[in-house]
Amino acid sequence: MLGPVLETLIGGLMTGVLYSLVALGFVLIFKASGVFNFAQGAMVLFAALSLARLSEFMPLVLAFAFSVLIMIALAYAIEFLVLRHLVNQEGIILFMATLGIAYFLEGFGQTLWGSDIYKIGLGLPTNPIFILESVFPGGLLIDPVELIAAIICAVMVLVLAVFFQVTRVGRALRAVADDHQAAQSVGIPLNQIWLMVWAVSGLVALVAGMMWGAKLGVQFSLSLIALKALPVLILGGLTSIPGAIVGGLIIGAGEKLAEVLLAPVLIRTFDLAGGGIENWFAYVLALAFLLVRPQGLFGERIIERV
Amino acid sequence: MTGKTMSGIRVGIALAGAVAVAAPALAQNEQFIPNLVYRTGAYAPNGVPFANGIADYYRLINERDGGINGVKIVFEECDTGYATDRGVECYERLKGKGPTGAAYVIPLSTGITFALTEKTTVDKIPIISMGYGRSESRDGSVFQWNFPLLGTYWTAADIILQHIAKKEGGFDKLKGKKIALVYHDSPYGKEPIALLQKRAQMHGFETLFLPVTHPGVEQKATWLQIRQNRPDYVLLWGWGVMNSTAIKEAVAVGYPREKMYGVWWSGAEPDVRPAEDGAKGYNSAALQHTAGQFKLHEDLKKYLYDKGLGAAKWEETGEILYVRGLINAMLGVEAIRTAQERFGKKPLTGEQVRWGLENLDISADRIKQLGFEGELRPIKVSCADHEGTRTGRIQTWDGKKWNIASDWLTSDDSVIAPMVKEAAAKYAAEKKLTPGCLVTN
């Protein structure tokens, strides 16, 4: 029994890392601009579609470079056409704007690149790795794609943490997040900062899209991966990069263990109609944490002085 | 000209064609057919080729024959995105179009079929759910407006089990075996459960039902359970990205693809290509036809593709879902033709086309004449049998193409017919319907 549980736990943690990759994009934009970017999932799709279609005509490295440029251009377009006109608007207005961007990107991405399933050939090994075969019968299974994603994610978190904490731009980003007007008054160029953060978030979306695309194939469903990131954000907090990672791990492991261990018990005990529970269980788990820590595990507690 | 530009033009032609034929004030000698499609969204890779097949067949009838006995086909697409609410909205918008309203509706979704079943009864418009929909809807005395032509999910599951039993040396050899069903957690995915339970009871094999939530991009937990329970066979009832993800996950947990059997909606090119070599050996039921071009393609080339009127790329016209679209459209057209013999060569109402569907009788000779030889077997529909035929085959993916891997298999009606009768009677009682064959004057 221990073997299957451990295997499910490892599988869940690995999947959780992939959720974190998507959640990171949300956190970056919220942290730096206070905008909950509903378009993050669509950005993942758009980035992956660009990479996959471009790689049909050129080497992957070159396609990646062009995709980076496309994501920067997209960030510029979003800043120039949408955000610039909404400075100092309520958060909900900015959220609604990202909703519009999400639908536009999903539709435009498919119109531009097509709605078939496209391939990103990273040449990753697909055959499973088995560890501890002498301890557990059949060993414990590790998916090599997810293992590599975990490593990439770890590197990315390190880079982002350094960027935010150490660099001048990172400090400016945090200042903008705290108060747009105050940041502007001390000479921080708001437009440039927003452009930068959306571009960085676009790069994160590109990496997430590349990993998910390599795993699933690049197609519309990638934009729905964002739904998997929402409970991660509820749990980890919207402003914490480590929170996105830990949240992803807890949600990933929690939902897999629930599906494998809890669902059969629930169905048997209460004679239920059946059905998968992992999707909604992730939200239940996140809500449970929310009741105890409304700001999320690592989120900043908002204190308002009257 | 690049492939991208070409495909853009093709989409343009498809849309413009649909609108152009539909837009002009709908002349009196035109038969309107709504086309519920999904060219966008999570299921588009599967929806697009099917929609192209349907559009091309209607257009071919117009270009080559001048319509059905001189009655031009006018069709209009509405994108449902495979969402039930949008499907119902599309149906409501299109049902009254044309001089006589919609001839029939093809929902291409079990969920939309379920939602439309009661509406179409009131509107008197038949539903053609070829290879999907409620399995008990083959009973035309209760489901008077539903036509699950060519095979229901109970037929599909039975054909697959027969093939497995044959491999094992007979149904008695299935005793003690474990058969898992990985299914789309929706009305569609749940359809085969009743048949599997029935067969499990009869032959003593164990079942394991594993749901996958829409759209099926995350299946880690499911496949870890497969690895831990080690079933002898896995049946896959997926659609869209769920299929390719399932095959990729099977590779990731080392489950042999040779032991996997998909329903006919889990056995097309978009399902196996993303897994590349990993899909080699994967099997699926074939809804009679398989992939490849055939006689009809000569006409498609001559009348559509050589003139730049085709909806797809020429090299894609032999793909499974495109061919299925052609067959589905052909069955609809033949039903209209059948109804015209009785009601006259003019645009017909849904009620009259329903009669045509219920009296559809396509012989082997007629199949040959229509250019579909080798793609399907004779079909004869009646009030008692809205399925018309329950024969299929098994196909296997060799890494590049689908190959037929079995003889023709016919589902066992001594098992299925009582199930249909019981389920249809239950439905009739719930809806307070009086079963009986519909008379059309």
Q: Are residues B121 and B186 in the same domain?
A: no
Does the pLDDT of residue A47 top 50, yes or no?
yes
Residues B319-342, mean pLDDT to the nearest whole number: 97
Q: What is the pLDDT of residue A291?
A: 87
Rounded-to-integer distance, Cα B2 and Cα A147, Å: 38
> How many domains does chain B fold into?
2
Same domain for B254 and B227, yes or no, is yes
CB A212 within 8 A of CB A225: yes
Residue in chain A lying closest to B38 (CA)? A115
* Least confident piece of the model among A23-32, A60-69, B345-354: A23-32
Nearest CB among A117, A141, A225 relative to B274 is that of A117
Interface test with A, best of B217, B229, B255 (most A CBs within 10 A): B217
Q: Residue B272 carries which side chain, given as an amino acid letter?
A: V
Per the CB < 8 A criterion, the answer to whether A10 and A257 are in contact is no
Which runs of consecutive H residues, i.e. helices, occur in A128-240? 144-166, 168-178, 180-185, 190-216, 225-236
Spatial CB neighbours of B288, under 8 Å, sequence gap ≥ 6 = B150, B151, B327, B375, B376, B377, B389, B391, B392, B393
Strands (DSSP E) found in B119-256: 127-128, 146-147, 178-184, 206-212, 233-237
Residue A75: count other Cβ atoms within 10 Å of its Cβ. Answer: 22
Render pLDDT for A158-210 as a digit per residue (tens, 0 to 9).
Answer: 888 788 778 888 888 878 777 777 888 888 887 888 888 889 899 999 999 99
C-alpha pair distances (Å), B111 with each of B132, B186, B304, B322: 10, 8, 33, 21
Interface contact A221-B215, CB threshold 8 A: yes
Task: Compute the nearest-CA separation of A132 from chain B (Å).
Answer: 16
User: For B375-382, which contacts have Cβ atoms below 8 Å and span 24 or more sequence positions?
Assistant: B375/B288, B375/B289, B375/B294, B375/B323, B375/B327, B376/B150, B376/B288, B376/B289, B376/B327, B377/B288, B377/B408, B379/B149, B379/B150, B379/B331, B381/B147, B381/B149, B381/B357, B382/B140, B382/B358
CATH number, domain of B13, equals 3.40.50.2300
pLDDT in tens, B51-78: 999 999 999 999 999 999 999 999 999 9
Is a pLDDT exceeding 70 seen at residue A274?
Answer: no
Same domain, B159 and B219: yes
The tokens describing B196, both together, are 């599997």
Please give the model's pTM, rounded to 2 decimal places: 0.86
Q: Hey, what are A190's tokens?
A: 């708001």
Residue B105's contacts (CB-CB under 8 Å, 6 or more residues apart) are: B34, B36, B91, B95, B116, B120, B125, B126, B127, B128
Same domain, yes or no: B167 and B22: no
Position B223 pLDDT exceeds 80:
yes
A75-79, A90-94, B188-192, B262-266: which range is least confident on average? A90-94
Confidence tier at B130 by pLDDT (50, 70, 90): very high
Q: Domain for residue B441, yes or no?
A: no
Task: Say how many C-beta atoms besides its own lie within 10 A of residue A124's C-beta.
Answer: 16
Section B336-343 average pLDDT:
97
CB B281 within 8 A of CB B397: yes
Which residues of A are less than 8 Å from B274 in CB distance? 117, 119, 216-217
Instruction: Write out the E strands in A23-91.
Output: none
Q: Is A264 on the interface with B (CB under 8 A)?
A: no
Least confident span in A46-60, B292-306, B343-357 = A46-60
Which among B2, B212, B219, B220 is the top mutation candidate for probing chain A, defined by the most A β-carbons within 10 Å of its own β-carbon?
B220
Q: What amino acid is encoded at B91 in this protein? A: Y
pLDDT value, residue B160: 98
Q: Which two tokens stand for residue B195?
A: 């048949």
Q: Which tokens is B249 given? A: 């996950």
List chain A residues with CB under 8 Å of B251.
Answer: 126-127
Please tell me whether residues B286 and B297 are part of one structural domain: no
As a whole number of angstroms, the distance between CA A110 and CA B349 comes to 37
Residue type present at position A293 = R
- Per the model's pLDDT, the better-predicted residue between A145 and B196 turns out to be B196
Residue B6 scores a pLDDT above 50? no
> What pLDDT digit, counting tens, does each position of B239-252 carry?
988 999 999 999 98
pLDDT, mean of residues B116-137: 94
- For residue B6, give the chain A residue with the closest CA: A114
Check if A107 contacts B (Cβ < 8 Å).
yes
Q: Alpha carbon of A294 to those of A25, A195, A233, A236: distances in Å?
A: 21, 30, 11, 10
> Which stretch of A51-60, B9-18, B223-232 has the lowest confidence by average pLDDT?
B9-18
Q: What are the sequence ranges of the domains in chain A?
A: 2-222
pLDDT band at B25 (very low <50, low <70, confident <90, very high): very low
Q: Tell me if B162 sits within 8 A of B188, measured CB to CB.
A: no
What residues of chain A lie within 8 A of the CB of B238, using their CB?
Answer: none
pLDDT band at B336 (very low <50, low <70, confident <90, very high): very high
Q: Flag whether pLDDT at B22 surpasses 50.
A: no
Among A70-84, B334-348, B403-417, which stretch is predicted with the lowest mean pLDDT?
A: A70-84
Which of A123-127, A210-214, A237-241, B309-313 has the largest mean confidence?
B309-313
pLDDT of B91: 96
CA A252 – CA A41 distance, rounded (Å): 18
Q: State the amino acid at position B105 in one-letter form.
A: V
**Residues B127 and B172 reside in one and the same domain:** no
Say if B437 falls within a structural domain: no
Q: What is the pLDDT of residue A303?
A: 59
Confidence of residue A305 (pLDDT cuts 50, 70, 90): low
H or E stretch covering B285? strand B283-286
In a domain, B264, yes or no: yes
**CA-CA distance, B155 to B60, in Å (whole number)?**
31
Q: Which band of pLDDT confidence, cut at 50, 70 and 90, is reported for residue A69? A: very high
**How many percent of chain B have pLDDT more than 90?**
79
Task: Kindly report, residue by residue over A154-163, the tens digit of the pLDDT.
Answer: 888 788 878 8
pLDDT beyond 90 at B2: no
Q: Give me A157's structure tokens.
A: 């978190």
Inter-residue contact B401 to B356 (CB < 8 Å): no
Residue A300 has pLDDT above 70, yes or no: no
> Quick one: average pLDDT of B163-178?
96
Closest CA to B36 of B288, B357, B329, B265: B329
Out of A15-24, B131-140, B332-341, the most confident range is B332-341
Task: For residues B266 and B340, state if they share a domain.
Answer: no
Residue B33 placed within a domain: yes
CA distances from B254 to B84, B182, B282, B395 (A): 35, 16, 13, 21
pLDDT tens column, B273-287: 888 888 999 999 999
Q: Are strands B178-184 and B206-212 parallel, antiparallel or unpaired?
A: parallel
By the 8 A CB rule, do B326 and B376 touch? Answer: no
Residues in CB range of B109: below 8 A, 6 or more apart: B36, B80, B82, B84, B87, B132, B188
Q: For residues B139 and B168, state if they share a domain.
A: no
The residue among B75 and A79 whose pLDDT is bigger is B75
Do B322 and B402 sit in the same domain of this protein? no
Q: Is the pLDDT of residue B90 over 60?
A: yes
pLDDT of residue A158: 81
Count how many pairs of residues, chain A against chain B, have C-beta atoms within 8 Å.
111
Domain span at B221: 153-290+392-411
In Å, how far are B41, B101, B377 from B336, measured between CA atoms? 32, 13, 20
Q: Using a CB-CB distance cutoff of 8 angstroms, which residues of chain A are in contact with residue B81? A: none
Contact flag B215-A224 (C-beta cutoff 8 Å): yes
Question: Residues B197, B282: one domain?
Answer: yes
Residue A84 pLDDT = 82
Please check whether residues B157 and B181 belong to one and the same domain.
Answer: yes
Cross-chain residue pair B252–A217, CB shorter than 8 Å: no
